[in-house]
Structure 1
Amino acid sequence: MKLFKFAKNFARDEDGAVTVDWVVLTAAIVGLGIAVISTVAGGVNGLGKTISSDLGKVTTSYKGFDENGTVVK
Structure 2
Amino acid sequence: MKYLVSHFWGDETGAVTVDWVILAAGVIGLALASMGVVIDGTEDLTGDVNAELSSQLISTSF
The interval holding the TM-score normalised by the smaller chain is 0.5 to 0.7
Aligned CA-pair RMSD? 2.5
Give unpaired runs (5+ residues) of structure 2.
none
Normalization by structure 1: what TM-score?
A: 0.58
Structure 1: unaligned runs, 5 residues or longer: 59-73
Match of 2:28 in 1: 26
Highest RCO, 1 vs 2 (Cα 8 Å, sep ≥ 6) = 1
Separation of aligned partners in 2, 1:12 and 1:47: 52
**Which 10-residue stretch deviates more, 22-31 or 10-19?**
10-19
- Identity of aligned pairs, percent? 7
Using the alignment, how far apart are the partners of 1:12 and 1:50 within structure 2? 57
Structure with bigger gyration radius = 1
* Corresponding pairs, count: 58
Taking a change above 3 Å as real, the CA distance of residues 16 and 8 of structure 1, as seen in their structure-2 partners, is same
Q: Which runs of 4+ in 1 moved over 6 A?
A: none
Higher share of residues assigned helix: 2
TM-score normalized by the length of structure 2 = 0.66
1:7 correspondence with 2:9: yes
